């Protein structure tokens, strides 16, 4: 009973714009959030330590006031720029890189500012900022550069301090302990930052993969729905018009065939704009039954249509009604074409659970499992169309006839 129309229309995959936008937003979503959190935390800590260094500089021994003031302005000024950049989230790499370079230079120039004021018991104010230099490298350099800076700055600071204090046993032990402490703390900061960034990158990769998979599935679903809609359109409108034209013997039948052909051409011309659903306003069961009878008799005027509507039957969404009516019309068309409409009758029932339609004929029947893949009268115009609105369509055919059941349940 299937219509013998090969699938001649292909659909090209389309990725909806919203999926492309969502994909772009997920690529660095977690990473950007982690960077923002790290920026605020490090910026806050750097600001506090910078204030501590300032008070240390103002309350500490004074060596050369010119060099001391110059280094204080240079170091704390570059640190202030980095802190502001970390808080606002802009120019972080540039200003963090500036401080990462300025600080070791200031350490090298420190002997010019310290003079003879350096003592073993009192650390200069630069000591407070040693690990801030390492953190600045973490925001401006790759991992290898961060590791180098984690060792370079503490060792450089210790070397300058030894040059000022002189190398003795007690001084060497004291400076070595400070160096080891600074290197360990710098290593911990680098590891924490690296772990958090790695986890964020993996999270973004997983999210991006999920969005890509969802977008591909949605695109494939859209393609399949479009293919089914176009194939169903070809069967419902074009084939029905051709059958009507072939069987038209009277002026009225010819006029009907012309009207059906005009409608088919109009739908084909607007296939790109036709969603196949239209308004979704609920339709009362009595109206559905009337439309069903009209659709059925338009295809075959002698078809018997019986209606049973339960008092508790509820209205059905418009898009569901259209799908069920078009699927029924296709079943009637197939019966007319392949079974000669022998004993053709359509039974409609509506109750509280939903809609049940049966299209029955007494033709020779066929084996549904042997229907060729390129014949879409049943697959596309009936089964797939009903499935698209969460309904089910079944085909029961043998030598005594064929019954096509179309069922939609409004309540689970």
* Token pair for 43: 């910026």
Instruction: Using the structure block, give the residue that is written with the tokens 């034209």.
Output: 245
- Cα gap 235→228, rounded to integer Å: 10
Instruction: Using the structure block, give the residue that is written with the tokens 């995959």.
Output: 13
Q: Is the pLDDT of residue 369 over 70?
A: no
pLDDT for position 47: 93
Residue 205: phi and psi, rounded to 5, are -65, -45
- Cα gap 123→39, rounded to integer Å: 28
CB 329 within 8 A of CB 240: yes
Q: Is the pLDDT of residue 105 over 90?
A: yes
* Token pair for 57: 């500089």
**Which carries the bigger pLDDT value, residue 209 or residue 265?**
209
- Cα gap 354→389, rounded to integer Å: 13
pLDDT for position 346: 95
pLDDT for position 333: 83
Per residue in 16-68, pLDDT tens? 555 555 555 556 678 888 888 888 999 999 999 989 988 888 876 667 788 88
- Cα gap 130→109, rounded to integer Å: 15
**Which carries the bigger pLDDT value, residue 270 or residue 358?**
358
pLDDT for position 300: 83
**Most confident range, picked from 77-81, 196-200, 207-211, 262-266:** 77-81
**Most confident range, picked from 8-22, 206-220, 391-405:** 391-405
The average pLDDT across 279-308 equals 88
Q: Is the pLDDT of residue 74 over 80?
A: yes
CB 238 within 8 A of CB 65: no
pLDDT for position 246: 73
pLDDT for position 378: 74
pLDDT for position 251: 76
With 0-12 CB in 10 A as exposed, 13-18 as middle and 19+ as buried, what is 149?
Answer: buried
* Token pair for 270: 């607007």
**61-95 burial string, b = 16+ CB within 10 Å, else e?**
eebeeebbeebbeebbebbebbbebbbeeeebeeb
- Cα gap 51→129, rounded to integer Å: 10
**Which carries the bigger pLDDT value, residue 372 or residue 133?**
133
Average pLDDT, the chain: 80
CB atoms within 10 A of CB 185: 15
The average pLDDT across 165-172 equals 79
Q: Is the pLDDT of residue 390 over 80?
A: yes
CA distance to 146, 152, 175, 273, 324, per residue, from 188 (Å) = 12, 15, 20, 60, 67
């Amino acid at each position: 009973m299937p219509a013998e129309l090969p699938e001649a229309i292909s659909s090209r995959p389309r990725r909806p714009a919203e999926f492309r936008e969502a994909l772009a937003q997920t690529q660095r979503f977690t990473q950007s959030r982690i960077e923002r959190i790290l920026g605020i935390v490090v910026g806050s800590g750097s600001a506090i330590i910078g204030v501590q260094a300032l008070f240390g500089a103002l309350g500490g021994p004074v060596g050369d006031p010119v060099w001391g003031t110059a280094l204080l302005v240079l170091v704390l000024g570059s640190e202030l720029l980095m802190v502001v950049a970390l808080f606002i989230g802009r120019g972080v790499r540039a200003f963090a890189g500036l401080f990462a370079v300025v600080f070791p230079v200031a350490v090298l120039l420190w002997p010019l500012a310290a003079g003879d004021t350096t003592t073993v018991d009192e650390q200069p104010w630069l000591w407070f900022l040693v690990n801030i230099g390492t953190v600045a490298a973490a925001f401006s350099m790759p991992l290898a550069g961060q590791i180098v800076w984690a060792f370079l700055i503490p060792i450089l600071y210790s070397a300058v301090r030894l040059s000022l204090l002189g190398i003795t046993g007690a001084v060497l032990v004291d400076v070595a302990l400070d160096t080891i402490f600074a290197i360990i703390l710098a290593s911990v900061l680098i590891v924490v930052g690296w772990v958090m960034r790695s986890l964020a990158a993996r999270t973004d990769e997983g999210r991006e993969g999920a969005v890509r998979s969802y977008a591909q599935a949605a695109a494939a679903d859209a393609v399949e729905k479009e293919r089914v809609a176009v194939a169903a359109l070809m069967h419902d409108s074009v084939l029905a018009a051709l059958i009507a034209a072939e069987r038209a013997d009277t002026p009225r039948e010819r006029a009907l065939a012309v009207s059906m052909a005009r409608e088919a051409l109009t739908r084909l011309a607007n296939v790109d704009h036709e969603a196949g659903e239209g308004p979704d306003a609920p339709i009362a069961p009595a109206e559905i039954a009337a439309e069903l009878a009209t659709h059925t008799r338009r295809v075959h005027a002698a078809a018997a249509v019986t209606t049973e509507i339960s008092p508790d039957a509820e209205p059905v969404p418009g898009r569901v009604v259209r799908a069920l009516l078009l699927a029924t019309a296709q079943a009637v068309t197939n019966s007319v074409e392949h079974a000669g409409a022998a004993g053709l009758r359509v039974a409609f029932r509506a109750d509280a659970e939903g809609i049940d339609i049966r299209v029955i004929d007494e033709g020779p029947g066929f084996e549904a499992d042997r229907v060729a893949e390129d014949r879409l009268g049943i697959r596309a115009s009936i089964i797939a169309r009903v499935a698209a609105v969460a309904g089910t369509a079944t085909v029961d055919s043998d030598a005594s006839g064929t019954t096509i059941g179309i069922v939609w349940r409004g309540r689970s």
